[in-house]
Amino acid sequence: MILTSVSLKRPVFATVTILALITLGLVSYLSLNIDEWPDLEFPFVTVKVEYKGASPEQVDSKITQKVEEAISSVSGVKHITSSAREGVSITTIEFTLETLAATAAQDVRDKLGRIRGDLPQDADEPVIMRFDPAESPIVSVAVTGNMSIREMTNLVDDVIKRRLETINGVGSIEVTGKLERQIHIDLEKDKLAAYGLTIPEIVESLKAENLEVPGGKLTKGEREISMRTMGNLPTPAEFLNAPLARREGIQLYVGHVATVKDVTEEPVEITKVNGKPAVGLDVMKQSGTNTVKVANDITKAVGALRKDMPPGVELTIVRDTSVTVKESVGDVLFNLVLGGALAVVIVFVFLGNWRSTVISAIAIPASIIATFFTMKLLGFSINTMSLLALSLAVGLLIDDAIVVIENIVRHMEMGKSKYQAALEGTSEIGLAVTATTLTLVAVFVPVGMMTGIVGQFFKQFGITVAFAVLVSLFIAFTLTPMLAANYLEVAHGQQQNLLGRALMWWNTRFDRVTGSYGGFLKMALGHRWKVVAAAVALFIGSLAITPLLGSSFVGRTDNGEFMIKADVEPGTSVAGSGTLADRMAAELKTLPEVVLVYSSADVDTIDMFVKLTDKRDRKRGMSAILTDVRAKLNAIPGVKVSILQKAGLKEEKPVALVIRGESLDVLDGIAEEAQKIMENTKGAVDVVSTYKPGKPDLQIDVKRDRAADLGVSTGNIADTLRTMFNGLTVSQYKDGDDRYDVQVRLKEDNRATLDDLSGIFLSSKYKDKNDKTVMVPLSQVTETVYATSPSQINRYDRQREIRLTANLEGTSLGEFNKAFFAEIKKIELPPGYTAGAVGESERMGETFTSMVMALFLAVAFIFFVLAAQFESYMDPFAIMLSLPLAIIGAILGLLVMRSDLSIMSMIGIVMLMGLVTKNAILLIDFAKQRQGEGADRDTALVDAAVIRMRPIMMTTAAMIFGMLPLAVGIGPGAEARAPMAHAIIGGLVTSTILTLVVVPVVYSLIDDFKKQQFGLKIKSKKAQTL
């Protein structure tokens, strides 16, 4: 081995090389960002258009469908999902992963720019957003106190928000629950009729007043002077003097037909903290910044702001995602350190020599720290996935050093010098150790190359493990033999202290077990087909019990937080939703575990964020608490509750069924039948449909023939009605640096009933005998129809859809889907209508397919490595037999620990493919060396098995104990990570035990087959020669 030879001859060079890697790693570690998850590029763009006062059907036809048509031709579009609700259209475009999100967003912006003229003029400008986890709030702050919401809004805008925006790393801040100042011009319909004025006339007149318009530039010599037309009204009262029109020679002003009020805008949402009215600030960080650092700076700034607040005003940090990040990352770091310590203890127990233990153990911190340098170069962050990779690899990082040091000790016990033992001991197993490491790297290459969002998610995991084990291999061939040659001593004689006697007792017993194992292996080699039959039976038996495992995508975690989304009766006002939210908050506060309830109520919907006491201080788990929450909240009349827990990056329900087609009535019929099936399927709770008919809808139908005869346009009628009841912003009032909306509408008591329509007039195309425009009552050209309409219209790929969602209690997603979809298939769908799973169910299927492909690629790459090492196409099959033997334990491990077959456990099974071949490689490689020295095959196999049993058991025990803290899973988010360790530990136990017997047996059978085939070929060639 060239690396080993150079390191032994130049120990200082070897030392400083490793120190350089460690230094680079430490410097890199200090500059790495800390986040909960890897920083991913999501190919999603969202378009939001507000159209205040419009019904869902109007929003759908006038905005959503036009937006969909425009963006459908954008390159790279994969799916289009849209939702039309009262006053707002939201369209989400999913692009192919090859599409750059920034490019996609610009293409969407260009397409929408071309159709802006086709959208209603009074609709807001389309807002285009890219989906980025960084755009989710990292900190939410609530302001409460003994002042009005309007006063708190001013305090937030003028002081708190401005202070937080100056923090380095803060991106944007959204203010919720605010109420701003407005200037209302309240029209009186009787006066309008008396003066013969129409609402559109007044709107146009006011738009022409209260202006500040650039007037160009005036050049005078070498100087340039800007000009502005200043038409701002100085006070709200001045709006009364704004001119409107002339009637019979008299100039009419706003004051003739309206009153002007300086008021607070009507609430569109009500925000509260523990029942107290509040204004909230959701703080987003800039992409690529350190979540923990930014959140810490925000917390410090909030602490400083508290000192500057007026008496009675409180600032409460209601949500801080960095707490979960720090706890989750801290838990993984603790597991990493504890796992490493346990692995070192195991090595000491087997070697019984503190020097050899220390030399081996150096590989763990050195490899981990050096890997941080690679992470920095590749743009990775310290996150749950990268640290999870290191936690799982902690037992692997010492493996190569264990095998090398154990073989060096064995050579020293033969009487060789330390230098000679280090060189020959490392060279003897160098090829085998290289092969074992390359098989691990071969396994994680497919993991790092998985497609889809999940593939991006696990990229850092696979690459981090691969580089860590490569660094450990480098250390095993350089630093380990160098230190052994200079500092390792082999203990001689019996140790007298208690620890020494205990280690002596253990090693004596282990030697006896090793001797017994040698005898058992000889017997197994005499009954080879029985051994093979037993192994096959165990494998088939494990596959037979696989259906007993549940399956899920990503497990729910108990991080002490959850969301509640409550649907209320269609047509419920903001105030009505607020009252129900208060009742819900009061019920939640009766639970001893609830410490904070942060609610937001708007039309038809209530959203709540609930924080619990620390997991360690609770007597009940999250599941039991949520059962109580459902019982208490669903008992409130008019409320349908859904609970959302975080799974990975999203807070969503695990079950989602989408029914697609054109007719909402047909879709509704299918959805009702499917909803009954879902509700009756075992485990389903919080079953909700996105289709909610029954929202009161008063339709004003235009009598088109009559309106056409009178010269009244439908647009004129619609604009009049919108202004009357919804109000229309016609201008902005400037007060210092602030601007406030000026709204025109009827006085409140003039728009209380339908009868008020009769007192509103529109101008016709006719003139009377005095050449005055004939005024037409609004009631003459319209008629009213009472109806109901859906509160929300959803589309998927430009087809209407209804989505059913549910949470699960007491069953896995796989078990539920099997029972549920068996019944769904019985529903006869009309032509053009489809029903299928989306969300977690869809992603679970896609991910499991990717995982199976990764598994096959891992097996293929392992074969390539082994075939290259042994220069044989047949010998690798004996080693690879350990792969199905590992599956046996993985399934049993998941079953015993009651873990689901999830994306995490699947990654563990893929990882097993590389781990379990290590033992078989060490055994077969040594056996082939003994055969090369002249030993017969069976003797070589027995000798190799007996000699290699100690390093095999050491490396396996080190890996198992290194992953034990992860398997126990007691920290935040541990429930989702633990199944990976359960699968690996179970697989290591069975594969190690069975590998020591089955692999030598199968190798001997393959060897006989090769000899038989080779012998037949020799005889055939001789016959042809004769």
In the CATH scheme, what is the code of domain 518-555+842-1026?
Answer: 1.20.1640.10
For the CA atoms of 1003, 1006, 1011, 1012, the dihedral, rounded to the nearest 10 degrees, stands at 150
Structure tokens at 1026: 């004769």
With a CB cutoff of 8 Å and minimum separation 6, the contacts of 172 are 135, 284
- Name the segment(s) of the chain with CATH classification 3.30.2090.10: 181-264+696-789
First to last CA, the chain: 47
Number of helices (H) and strands (E), helices first, in the chain? Answer: 34, 33
In one letter, which amino acid is 879? I
* pLDDT at position 649: 56
Sign of the CA dihedral 598, 37, 862, 433?
negative
Which residue positions in the chain have pLDDT lower than 50? 134, 1018-1026
Phi, psi of 831 (to 5 degrees): -55, 135
**pLDDT value for 1015:** 58
In terms of CATH architecture, what is 1-31+353-489? Up-down Bundle (1.20)
- Using DSSP bridges, classify how beta strands 594-602 and 270-273 pair: parallel, antiparallel or unpaired: antiparallel
For 366, residues 6+ apart whose C-beta sits below 8 A from its C-beta are 18, 21, 22, 471, 475, 479
Given a contact cutoff of 8 angstroms between Cβ atoms, the answer to whether 566 and 584 are in contact is yes
Distance CA 840, CA 651 (A): 11
Q: DSSP assignment, residue 849?
A: H
Say how far apart CA 967 and CA 946 lie, in whole Å: 30
The CATH code of the domain at 561-695+791-841 is 3.30.70.1320
For residues 605 and 577, the answer to whether their CB atoms sit within 8 Å is yes
Q: Which residues contact 380 (CB under 8 A, 6 or more apart)?
A: 32, 38, 386, 460, 463, 464
> Listing from the earlier edge strand, what are the strands of the sheet with 594-602?
276-277, 270-273, 594-602, 605-612, 561-568, 639-644
| H or E, element range at 601 | strand 594-602
Q: What is the pLDDT of residue 645?
A: 82
The encoded tokens of residue 572 equal 């419920």
Where do the CATH 3.30.70.1320 domains begin and end in the chain? 561-695+791-841
For 84-141, write each residue's pLDDT tens digit: 988 899 999 988 877 877 888 889 999 998 998 889 887 888 988 876 554 578 899 9
Helix (H) or strand (E) holding 763: strand 761-767
For domain 43-131, say whether CATH 3.30.70.1430 is its number: yes
Residue limits of CATH 1.20.1640.10 in the chain = 1-31+353-489, 518-555+842-1026
Spatial contact of 612 and 595, defined as CB atoms under 8 Å apart? yes
H or E element, residue 644:
strand 639-644
pTM of model > 0.85: no
Give the type of residue at 244. Answer: L
Residue 746: strand, helix, or coil: strand
Neighbours of 522 (CB within 10 A): 14
How many angstroms separate the CA atoms of 247 and 231, rounded?
A: 24
Q: Which long-range contacts (CB under 8 A, 24 or more apart) does 71-74 make?
A: 71/47, 71/108, 71/111, 71/112, 72/798, 73/111, 74/104, 74/107, 74/108, 74/111
* Closest among 186, 359, 171, 155 to 728, alpha carbons compared: 186
What 3-state class would DSSP assign to 505?
Answer: helix
Task: Give me the count of residues in the chain.
Answer: 1026
Give the count of beta carbons closer than 10 Å to the beta carbon of residue 213. 9
Strands 250-253 and 243-247 come out as: antiparallel
pLDDT at 448: 65
CATH architecture for residues 181-264+696-789: 2-Layer Sandwich (3.30)
CA distance 970 to 327: 11
- The answer for residues whose C-beta is within 8 angstroms of residue 761's C-beta and 6 or more apart is 192, 193, 196, 198, 775, 776, 777, 778
Q: State residue 969's pLDDT score.
A: 67
Nearest-angstrom CA–CA distance, 987 and 870: 25
Task: Give me the pLDDT at residue 339, please.
Answer: 75
The predicted structure's pLDDT at residue 650: 62
Helix or strand (DSSP H, E) at 686: strand 684-689
| pLDDT at res. 406 | 83
Residue pair 342/962 in contact by the 8 Å Cβ criterion: yes
Paired with 34 in beta bridges are: 382
